[in-house]
């Protein structure tokens, strides 16, 4: 039996005067294709209820440990938050924004988890690893 997750994912990306709004939207949708994105004054805001494609990219890029660290650093009571580089997202690559802010701004992602809990959802999106491989795949 599979677990049903109840989450709200809010993706926010500033649109600078030098940027084309459609390209910023493409960057968001490359990582979160299920997001319903709308334009607000100077930014795009997308709402989704899963991170399946994002999780697939983490697995493909083999950056599960990095993702877990970022999620943990941004964890609050019933949520976690992290930032991503827009330029990488535009080409469909996950690149966490660390250090100083970039001049184009970052894509900010906030994940509010209602059920079954933050830790369980983090494990679902970016499972723990052992020697670089997801622990859940050990038996294969």
> Can you give the CATH number for the domain in which 13 is found?
3.30.1440.10
* Alpha-carbon distances, residue 133 vs 14, 66, 80, 122 (angstroms): 35, 13, 23, 16
Query: What integer pLDDT is reported at residue 126 of this predicted model?
Result: 95
- The alpha carbon of residue 127 and the mean position of all alpha carbons in its chain are separated, in whole angstroms, by 14
Among the listed residues 94, 97, 89, 84, the one whose alpha carbon sits nearest the alpha carbon of residue 61: 94
The reply to whether 130 falls in a domain is no
User: How many domains, the chain?
Assistant: 1
Alpha carbons 28 and 121: distance in angstroms, whole number: 21
Query: What integer pLDDT is reported at residue 94 of this predicted model?
Result: 98
Query: What integer pLDDT is reported at residue 2 of this predicted model?
Result: 66
Handedness of CA 68, 74, 57, 101 (dihedral sign): negative
pLDDT digits (tens, 9 = 90+) for 28-57: 999 999 999 999 999 999 999 999 999 999
pLDDT at 132 over 80: no
Determine if the peptide bond prior to 105 is cis (ω within 30°).
Answer: no
**Strand 36-40 to strand 43-48: parallel, antiparallel, or no bridges (unpaired)?**
antiparallel
The reply to whether 97 falls in a domain is yes
pLDDT band at 136, cuts 50/70/90? Answer: low
The reply to whether 72 falls in a domain is yes
The reply to whether 120 falls in a domain is no
pLDDT band at 139, cuts 50/70/90? Answer: very low
DSSP-assigned letter for residue 137: G
The reply to whether 73 falls in a domain is yes
* Alpha-carbon distances, residue 101 vs 66, 85, 107, 130 (angstroms): 19, 9, 11, 32
pLDDT digits (tens, 9 = 90+) for 52-103: 999 999 999 999 999 999 999 999 999 999 999 999 999 999 999 987 777 7
The reply to whether 128 falls in a domain is no
Instruction: For residue 133, give both structure tokens.
Output: 């491989």
């Amino acid at each position: 039996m599979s677990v049903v997750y109840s989450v709200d994912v809010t993706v926010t990306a500033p649109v600078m005067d030098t940027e084309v709004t459609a390209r910023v939207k493409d960057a968001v949708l490359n990582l979160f294709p299920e997001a319903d994105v709308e334009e607000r004054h100077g930014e795009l805001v997308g709402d989704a209820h899963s991170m399946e494609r994002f999780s697939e990219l983490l697995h493909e890029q083999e950056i599960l440990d990095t993702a877990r660290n970022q999620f943990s650093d941004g964890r609050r009571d019933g949520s976690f938050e992290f930032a991503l580089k827009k330029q990488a997202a535009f080409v469909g690559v996950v690149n966490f924004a660390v250090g100083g802010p970039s001049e184009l701004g970052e894509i900010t992602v906030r994940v509010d988890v209602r059920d079954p809990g933050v830790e369980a959802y983090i494990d679902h999106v970016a499972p723990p690893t052992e020697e670089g491989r997801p622990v859940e795949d050990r038996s294969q």
